[in-house]
Structure 1
Amino acid sequence: MDDEPSVLRSLNWLMQDRFDVSSATDACEGLELVCNSDFDVVISDQRMPGMTGTEFLKRVKEASPNTMRLLLTGYSEYADVLRSVNDSEVFRFLNKPWNNQHLIDTVAYAATVAREVPLPRPSNPTSTTEIDMDGLRGRRTEAVLLMDEDPAIEHQLRAILGDEMLLLWARNPSDAIRLLHRHKVAVIVADTRAGYGSTLDLIRAVKRCSPNIVPMIYTTEGDGGNIGRLINEGQIFRFIAKPAGPSYVNRMIRSALQKHRDLMAQPARIARHAVEVSHSRELEHAVDGATGWNPTEGAPRGASFDLVMAARETTSTAPVSGVAWLKRLFGKS
């Protein structure tokens, strides 16, 4: 889906030998195609007349939730990237100009997931605001990990969660690793920076090694490019801009908790949230050895393609223990 015919010609040329490709230059035409066909993957440009790509993909999600959604854009505007997380739940954020092989590989993986881990078309789609909040009361065995050095945010989340859920507070990545080692974390709420470094590498490693953990970002970060990386490399479930009201934050955390429970109940769906390959395999081994989840809990089974848990191939070959490596990476604690 792109309003520029030259872009559509390039994409058709690139993918026609591997996939059955349909295209549209108008959002209404594209939605009609989606409603009347079973597409495995939809790729949409962001900046189009009449309807943005995030709005288009949101409607695609509602009409055909099984379809994997990719957002293709030549720029990274904060508000649009934010909506791509919260409204459209895109699988990948792709930049123009694209790398041909990377695009083909991404589409191939997404198409395989759509076929092997299908989701039904809902007869009556439910929005996030219609979630049964009473049915999502927390359990003390399900922990929320906050990665933020601001005590005001810790106070806000503790007031929101009350005694329902265990709130763990990490002021830096080293603290987070220790808490992940001791507790079964269901949801991570993180600023983009905590203590003396970025949280992206840690979130990415946690998501690859314990993909049933659902990460959220709660930050003042306004760099659309960084948020795009968080989509691709961390599979961020929701993005909350500071400051936010307690009722909204509460609703987003409960929604993330529901996603965690869904992944635990139907672990094959983890494939729909696979992160891009990390360049720091040692960090993945470190987090793998330092999470409260058993390696088999929530792991996808029975799929014929490379899923998220490929990072577990030989955890015994990690060069150092999880805690030792993270002390080396983030400094002594």
Structure 2
Amino acid sequence: MFEATTATKPHVLFVDDEPRILTSMRMLFRSKYQVTTATSAQEAIELLKAQPVEVIVSDQRMPNMTGIEFLREARDIAPNAMRILLTGYSDLNAIIGSINEGEIFRFVNKPWVNEELGRTLDRAIVAARESANASADDAPPLAADAQAPAVLVLDEDPQTLPQVRAILGDAFRTFGATSLDEAITLMEREHIGVVMSETRVQGHPVVGVISLLKQHQPELISVIVTERADAGTAIDLINQGQIYRLITKPIHDSQCRIAIGSALRQHHKLAQNPELHKRYEVAAPPEDAATPALPKTATSLLDRIRGLRALFKRSG
């Protein structure tokens, strides 16, 4: 049911099979947003078909259809709506599904903090409104010429780069780096559209670097390829890194080829439509979180990452 009818209020749909959760959401946000609630995924799907919504907040554990399955359908019905997944447990497969299938904006743990959830909703609404009129053209030519955006594989495993090159063949330009310093050097020299990375490089989590890269080069797309995925890391990579896909090793040829082709098209779309950047804005790390771990050359790396935007503009 609608709890507000003011036309200018942002429209948010909350989906949860627990009525008390929906009551809490309604009480928290009805003064600020136009609130619609649904107690099942199927009810929410019918609502989406009938009316525009700017933000969808869905629980994961629901009968008949999980939150991930619902958000996948919601993406097809209302592609411009921002998607937020709310859950009280850390199921790795569900989290990976939220990246690869639901393309969610944020992953929010229960019990949520009201102020933090409110800030997340505000950012999601800004993103939905700014990106509403973006171009639908997302199919650039994927040629491997010198001007085409390239793929950077960041992994200390010496087998990963040749394997990816063998999978992608001549369709894409592909470079490799085994350290963060090498990766930034390549990005200073080449037009990199997609970074494929392990979750840790040189003993350091890559989420901090991916977050910084995304802040300074919003059209850069990140794909994680890992054999050591865990729920906590995956959540951080969604919220703080806005990664586009997560692939677990061993790498499968078709999965990798499809993911990279899609990621390069996404890079092109974001490069051509700056109004979409808010849709993939990274979250600040939690206040009690440590500063992202970087090697001893951190200051130099940070300065070089900040300079990539200027290099990209000049090369463009």
Q: Which residue of 1 aligns with 2:21?
A: 7
Q: Which residue of 2 aligns with 1:104?
A: 118
Separation in 2 of the partners of 1:297 and 1:245? 34
2:254 counterpart letter in structure 1 = S
Matches within 5 A, 1:1-333: 1-118=15-132, 135-141=141-147, 142-277=149-284, 285-290=303-308, 293-294=311-312
Secondary structure of 1:217 counterpart: strand
Contact 1:181/1:291, CA 8 A, preserved across alignment:
no
Q: Which segments of 5 or more consecutive residues in structure 2 lack a partner in the other structure?
A: 1-14, 286-290, 293-297
Deviation of 1:183 after TM superposition, in Å, equals: 1.8
Per-residue CA deviation, residues 278-300 of structure 1 (Å, 9 max, x unaligned), is 566977554112467435889xx
Contact 2:126/2:278, CA 8 A, preserved across alignment:
no
Q: Which residue of 2 aligns with 1:329?
A: none
2:174 counterpart letter in structure 1 = L
Contact 2:217/2:308, CA 8 A, preserved across alignment:
no
Deviation of 1:179 after TM superposition, in Å, equals: 1.7
Separation in 2 of the partners of 1:85 and 1:184? 25
Deviation of 1:138 after TM superposition, in Å, equals: 3.3
Contact 2:198/2:225, CA 8 A, preserved across alignment:
yes
Given the superposition, is the C-alpha separation of residues 119 and 77 from structure 1 closer, same or farther in structure 2, using an over 3 Å criterion?
farther
Given the superposition, is the C-alpha separation of residues 297 and 53 from structure 1 closer, same or farther in structure 2, using an over 3 Å criterion?
farther
Deviation of 1:221 after TM superposition, in Å, equals: 2.5
Contact 1:64/1:121, CA 8 A, preserved across alignment:
no
Separation in 2 of the partners of 1:209 and 1:287? 7
Separation in 2 of the partners of 1:187 and 1:209? 14
Contact 1:187/1:214, CA 8 A, preserved across alignment:
yes
Identical pairs, percent? 37
Deviation of 1:201 after TM superposition, in Å, equals: 0.9
Given the superposition, is the C-alpha separation of residues 295 and 78 from structure 1 closer, same or farther in structure 2, using an over 3 Å criterion?
same
Deviation of 1:222 after TM superposition, in Å, equals: 2.9
Separation in 2 of the partners of 1:256 and 1:266? 15
Separation in 2 of the partners of 1:189 and 1:245? 14
1:2 counterpart letter in structure 2 = D
Separation in 2 of the partners of 1:257 and 1:187? 6
2:146 counterpart letter in structure 1 = R
Separation in 2 of the partners of 1:285 and 1:64? 39
RMSD of Structure 2 on Structure 1 (CA)? 2.4
Contact 1:140/1:165, CA 8 A, preserved across alignment:
no
Given the superposition, is the C-alpha separation of residues 289 and 205 from structure 1 closer, same or farther in structure 2, using an over 3 Å criterion?
same
Separation in 2 of the partners of 1:135 and 1:268? 22
Deviation of 1:247 after TM superposition, in Å, equals: 2.1
Separation in 1 of the partners of 2:222 and 2:311? 15
2:91 counterpart letter in structure 1 = E
Secondary structure of 1:270 counterpart: helix
Separation in 1 of the partners of 2:224 and 2:238? 10
TM-score relative to the length of structure 2:
0.85
Separation in 1 of the partners of 2:93 and 2:133? 28
Deviation of 1:150 after TM superposition, in Å, equals: 1.0
